[in-house]
Amino acid sequence: MILDKICDKRKEQLERDMRKVSLSDIKFQANESDHKIISFSRAIKRDTLSVISEVKKASPSKGLICRNFDPVKTACEYELNGANAISCLTEEYYFQGSSEYLKAIRAAVRLPILRKDFIIDEYQLYEARSMGADAVLLISAILSEEQMKEYSEIAHCLGLECLIEVHNEDEYRKTLGFKPDMLGINNRNLYTFEVNLETTGRLSRIIDEHSVLVSESGIKDNADMKKVRSMGADAVLIGETLMRSESIGETFRILREGV
């Protein structure tokens, strides 16, 4: 399955990173970071539907998305056009992301930044803090309930918030033993990569109404925005639609009309 392949490659990347910088050294760097954390959850919990704009070069399902990729320019355009927060891919193999992209974006924008990655080890949490992230993604499909609790606690000690991602009822049940900062409903099935916005509707009905709810994947137009808003989403995470846009400002205007 593609998710297993992504995680296998992610382990290879992690091993390379740990050979360059030890766990003790990355902890030191995280604790010495001078970045003042910005609350991701407060940035996206608004009266209107918030947009988490993703800086993404490629994906396993679509391949190369943006040929003339300029992460800093894209992030600055997002901020200029009213994005509430930014998501940056740091997985190297399938998404062609980089920690260096996040560092460069952090230096250029004032919005909160989510480290979008496949987190499988505590090392990545300290790494996220050291590179200037404000929040991290924890994917229920690849972590046990105990791991999610442990990683959430470490993240909180570092000042980071966690977006816990689920895409079915069983994955959501794994979050009931603790209170996530934010819950992301991924409309993309991580095993088949099929997308269905009804996933947000189905899961939102059983999720704690006090949760900060993010609908992820498959948001392409204004109708999709209105649909997930009606289902209870506080925010949407949009990558491909914005990365393929010839005018980010115009795309934002169309997406947000009436929501």
pLDDT per residue as tens digits for the range 211-250? 899 999 999 999 999 999 999 999 999 999 999 999 999 9
Rounded Cα–Cα distance for residues 238 and 53 (Å):
5
Q: What was the pLDDT predicted at 2? A: 85
Bridge partners (DSSP) of residue 214 are 184, 235
Q: Which positions are catalytic?
A: 54, 56, 116, 165, 186, 216-217
Mean pLDDT of 18-33: 98
**50 contacts 234 by C-beta, under 8 angstroms:** yes
Q: Which tens digit of pLDDT belongs to each residue from 119-160? A: 999 999 999 999 999 999 999 999 999 999 999 999 999 999
CA dihedral 28, 32, 35, 37 (to 10 degrees): 70
pTM of the model: 0.96
- Residue 190: pLDDT over 80: no
Please state the domain count of the chain. Answer: 1
Report the alpha-carbon distance of residue 221 to residue 250 in Å, rounded: 12
CATH of the domain at 163: 3.20.20.70
Q: Which domain holds residue 214?
A: 2-256
Element (H, E) at 59: strand 58-59
